[in-house]
Structure 1
Amino acid sequence: MSPRSFFSKLLSSRNDNNQQLTQNQNDSPYSQSWKHRLMRFFIIVTLILSAIWLLLAIWYQFGATSFITWLTTIVIIGLLIPLLSATYHTKLANKIDDKLSNKKISNKKLSRWLAGGYAFIWLAGLGWFFSIEAKQDRNWQPEVSQVITYERDANNPDLITFSNVRNFDWHTPDEADERWDTRTVDMSKLSGVDVSNSYWMGPLIAHTLVSFRFEDDRPLAFSFEIRKEEDESFSALAGFFRRYELSLIGAEERDIIYTRSNARGEQVYLFPISHLQHSEVKALFESYLIAADELNTKPAWYNTLVSNCTNIIFYMARIVSGDRLPWDYRIWVSGWLPNYLYDVGMLDANPQLNKEQRSSQPWSMDTWYERTHINPKTQGFDNEVSVNADVNSREFSAQIRQGIPIPPLADSKVEAEARAQSAAEASEE
């Protein structure tokens, strides 16, 4: 519906009401049809929600005590209340008609002026909101102060050298010894993918991280996060209003997982993804390189709903795996992501415990949660780097995987899809 037709509906509502009431000689609004009342209800709700959205956007950008925030609030309320009253409150509208008749101004004309003023303010606010650009040069908090970059080896494109790999020594949730490392990895040695869910606000909300395993090296973890400034704290509601830039962090697991499981006390689970080919793992890894390039070229906004730590991963993975990852509401409920992976066969219901033996009993999702809970495994882990940070990182990554079956890569696409289908069917039994 165009703005013009929308406000035509809005302004014609009461006039149509009066015509109907005159014909029926009945002043009660209940004589209107249910369709008309439903249309009126949706228009009122739309106006109120649009006002709330604009006021929240301004509040999160300028602050609650800002002159702009207060001025906009007064103007919006000053337009919206008379507009709704003059258009939909029958008794009040009739009184307004009586008072305006002496001034040769009709209630219909007043409603149009109010609606036009509100539409102008709201559309101007909408244009302002979408003109806000993300930036790289702010006073960032230490853990997001650097951006990850990389270079390919000129002779071997599989060799990737990363700069600004985060490897902090965390002491408390807010205090750490900063360290940004340079690290080279070989994509030809990729051996698998693990997804970690860190629960910090109940069972529905979790932060999702992705770790890439290598045959002869420690894992490397990636995490999409909000890029907080020094004076900022996270708010899920603020995440809808261009309050936080999006950041891609490349880190050692002893940093980015330890800070959640130990320093912050969040509940962390690590799930090894089954039934992948090496080409899929490599393509997913490459998609993180592309994401790093894009964010470094043009900063982007974090959005709580459409561009958060979980669904961005899903978008990238779906490009790689296609229909093997069907759309599902749990993509937007990050805490249920492991259940989704289990149902589509990416968590094996009958995992291979070692090279020779598979599980004798199918694993339920409850079993997966029990076996992959890493907090009990990391209690007492000495995360202070005294001699060699690489050794410490290897030890932490090995410790959080104790008791978790690490699946081998599939030899072909047919094998990968067949095993995933079999696992999905087993999960339904």
Structure 2
Amino acid sequence: MSLRRGRGQGRAAAAIAARNAPQRRWPARLARAAAALAIVLASVWGGLFLAYLPHTGTLVRYASALLWLAMGGAALWGLRHPREYRVLPWIFAVACAGLVFGWSQLLPEQNRDWADDVAQPLQPQVDGHLVTLHNVRNFAWRSDSDYTPRWETRQYDLDRLVSADLALSYWMGPAIAHTLVSFGFDDGRRVVFSLEIRRERGESFSALAGFFRNFEQAMIAADERDILAVRSNVRGEDVYLYRLNIPRAQLRQLFMGYVARAQQLQRTPKFYNTATSNCTTIVFELVRKFEPQLPLDYRLLLSGYLPSYVYAQHGFVPGYALATLQARGRIGERARQAGTGADFSQRIREGIPGEEPSGVPR
């Protein structure tokens, strides 16, 4: 009788253990799933980093990227077959540490063979309400490869600063645009600030490469007949101009924010980043200094949709629908008709809400 009871208790214990086994395996399964996800993400990031490794030959970059992906695949295989290949994920983890170290050793530089249009760094000097900008770009563009370089020194009186216009230049579909800010003074003079990549000679922009420390930042201050006309008249980009609704005190802060960034880049070069440090995020950063409640939004990344974000934040002149601001702010045809005449800035603003008649810029 006792023997039967013992066998029954053994079978009951085995049944309970069998029911609890899946519960005990769940933590291990979750850990393996998390490890697999980490390996996949590291494989993708590392593969792209190696594929866009700066100052490295194409064959070396692509071969390195393929080898890295193979190592990631081997690590996943080892994760799935831990008894035989347990060491493979650990080898990949060590390789990841080495790759991150290599990433950290990529440093931005000041001295390279820069493309002509970003060759001269903006050098501001501030003396009270007077700001002198050395290396203001005022190229005469005939085509993207045919131009006359001109770098000028100009002085601006912040007490005469009266306006700021947001310019968006669409060059890659409706979602992506280059963002610029043009500041106007009561004598009709204007200067445009634009954070751009500092291209090396022969180098071209790649949005993907911009995630992987391929480009330094360049702060450009330029004449509108250069930086807006080259986009609308030479490159055929679709350019829009919107008057910003900013009080004069905050206009000064915004202007000086660009000046401060240019001074920082003089002292310490920085990398451009497609997502976190670009022509649009700098505007957001500078405006947020006097509008701290400004929310983050996907349109800061998809900069082509930035006008709807600014409109929702009441950042444009009031009293107009967004569609009206967009229709009147499209300057391409007016820019082509104006050419590079002395009245270029006046003519491109004809009909733009918030624009008042003013003098002719020099």
TM-score range, shorter chain: 0.7 to 0.9
State the shift of 1:162 in Å: 1.1
Work out the number of aligned pairs and report it: 337
Q: Look up the match of 1:85.
A: 77
Equivalences for 1:9-48 in 2 at 5 Å? 40-48=32-40
1:144-163 to structure 2, matched below 5 A, reads: 144-153=118-127, 157-163=128-134
Matching residue of 1:368: 325
Q: Which of residues 253, 268, 274 is equivalent to 1:298?
A: 268
Residues 318-372 of structure 1 deviation map (CA, whole Å, 9 limit, x = unaligned): 112322x33322222211111111111111341xxxxxxxxxxxx2211111000
Q: Kindly indicate whether residue 91 of structure 2 is the aligned counterpart of residue 117 of structure 1.
A: yes
- C-alpha distance 181-124 of structure 1, shift in aligned 2 (>3 A): same
Q: Structure 1 residues 71 and 211, CA, compared in 2 at 3 Å: closer, same or farther?
A: closer
**What CA distance in whole angstroms lies between the structure 2 residues aligned with 1:247 and 1:137?**
13
Name the SS for the 1:65 alignment partner: helix
Q: Within 2, Cα distance between the matches of 1:399 and 1:326?
A: 34
Q: 1:185 to 1:69 in 2, by over 3 A?
A: same
Structure 1 residues 114-136: Cα deviation after superposition (integer angstroms, max 9, x where no partner): 12211111111101102211001
- From 376, 380, 387, the equivalent of 2:337 is 380
8 Å contact 2:78–2:84 — kept in the other structure? Answer: no
Residues 269-326 of structure 1: CA distance to partner in whole angstroms, max 9, x if unpaired?
Answer: 000001x221101111111111011001000000000001001111011112322x33
Structure 1 equivalent of residue 6 of structure 2: none
Match in the other structure for 1:136: 110
Q: Which residue of the partner structure matches residue 313 of structure 1?
A: 283
CA RMSD of superposed structures (Å): 2.5
**Mind listing any 5+ residue stretches in structure 2 that lack a counterpart?**
1-16, 357-362
Q: Distance in 2 between matches of 1:309 and 1:239?
A: 12
Partner of 2:343: 395
Q: Partners of 2:27 and 2:326 in 1: how far apart?
A: 50
Contact 2:110 2:269 (8 Å CA) reproduced: yes
Matched AA of 2:252 = K
Cα deviation per residue 1:79-99 (whole Å; 9 max; x = unaligned)? 4333322332xxxx4xxxxxx
TM-score (norm 2): 0.86
In the aligned structure 2, how far is the partner of 1:214 from the partner of 1:145?
A: 27
Identity %: 36
Letter of the 2:58 counterpart: A
Does 1:193 pair with 2:164? yes
1:334 is aligned, of 289, 292, 303, to: 303
Unpaired stretches in structure 1, ≥5 consecutive residues: 1-21, 94-106, 351-362, 384-391, 409-429
Distance 1:77 1:23 in 2: 39
1:50 aligns with 2:21: no
- CA 1:295–1:38: 2 relative to 1, 3 Å: same
Q: 1:78 to 1:271 in 2, by over 3 A?
A: closer
- Which moved further from structure 2: 50-59 or 280-289? 50-59
* Letter paired with 2:196: E
Evaluate the alpha carbon distance shift between residue 77 and residue 326 of structure 1 in structure 2; reply closer, same or farther with a 3 A threshold. closer
Code of the residue aligned with 1:300 in structure 2: it is: K
Encode CA deviations 1:129-156: one digit per residue, 9 max, x unaligned: 0221100101111000000112234xxx
> Which SS does the other structure have where 1:51 is aligned?
helix
Q: Hey, what's the Cα distance between the residues in 2 that align with 1:182 and 1:406? A: 29
Mapped contact 1:280–1:321 kept (Cα < 8 A): no
Q: Distance between the aligned counterparts of 2:101 and 2:226, measured in 1? A: 41
Q: Please say if 1:322 is aligned against 2:315.
A: no
1:70 aligns to what? 63
